[in-house]
Amino acid sequence: MNLKSKNQIVETELRLITNITIFNEDIKFAPILHDISNELKYKLLYTTQGIHRQASRTHQHIMCIWDCSGCRTYKALSKKITEMKNKLVMYEGIDIKTTFTYSNGIKSNPNNLYTESCMMYPYKEYETDMEIDLEKQFGYTTEHIYNMRKIANEEWKRKLAKDAKKAHDQQIKSCKKIALWDYLEQHTQHMLTTSMYATDKVRETARLILRYKSKEDEEFRIHDLKNQAVNYLFKYKKLTEDEVLDIANI
């Protein structure tokens, strides 16, 4: 490896993965790739392209692998590609976002790893091979493209199922908490005007929680009883700040 300047590293073998997100599903991406190749002298090896319509904002991904051997590398490559885009009239008013990872470790995101398996990402929403526009792919065989699509789609659906389960579990947990606190509200109104000691309020509330859990056939953890009771009482103004601090021995 020969270090030529702060932003320039030359290697005998060097590759780059770029992921250009264009927030428009109709715009052609060939011009921007042409400019990258011409201006940076990078050789395009592979391209995968796909549209993501199930996102909050429809967009297309154009992922490329470039041969950068003997060429400059750029720590601010994303900015440079945006500057190229701004020179193209056809891209006027269209937002793009670029992430990149060089095989020598220079990258836009410190968490990114150089792995060419990521090239399947644009295909994640495609349920069938026929949805892929083969004319917009480059370098890979059709068989390899279809295999990438299958893997990407299966991984994406697994993630959707996992996210859906997590959201469902959180909703159930939230509903259970609301139901418990409604129950406590019905049985602790006297604590707003009573002269009970704070510790007695906590003990009585913990007892109510036990009864509720038993009635609903819900499991509980012993060390959570006090925390739940104090949290509830403080939220609903049945314990003062000083009383909570006393209970916590602070």
Collapsing DSSP to helix, strand or coil, 249 comes out as coil
Tokens of 103: 């095989």
Tokens of 74: 């750029």
Contacts of 14 (CB under 8 A, 6+ apart): 67, 68, 69, 70, 71, 73, 102, 103, 104
Q: What is the pLDDT averaged over residues 207-232?
A: 89
- pLDDT tens string 114-142: 999 999 999 999 999 999 999 999 999 99
The residues of the chain that CATH labels 3.30.70.260 are 2-161
Chain-centroid distance, C-alpha 167: 15
Topology of the domain comprising 2-161? Alpha-Beta Plaits (3.30.70)
- pLDDT tens string 5-51: 444 444 468 999 999 999 988 888 888 899 899 999 999 999 999 99
Distance, in Å, from the CA atom of 154 to the CA atom of 172, rounded to the nearest integer, reads 27
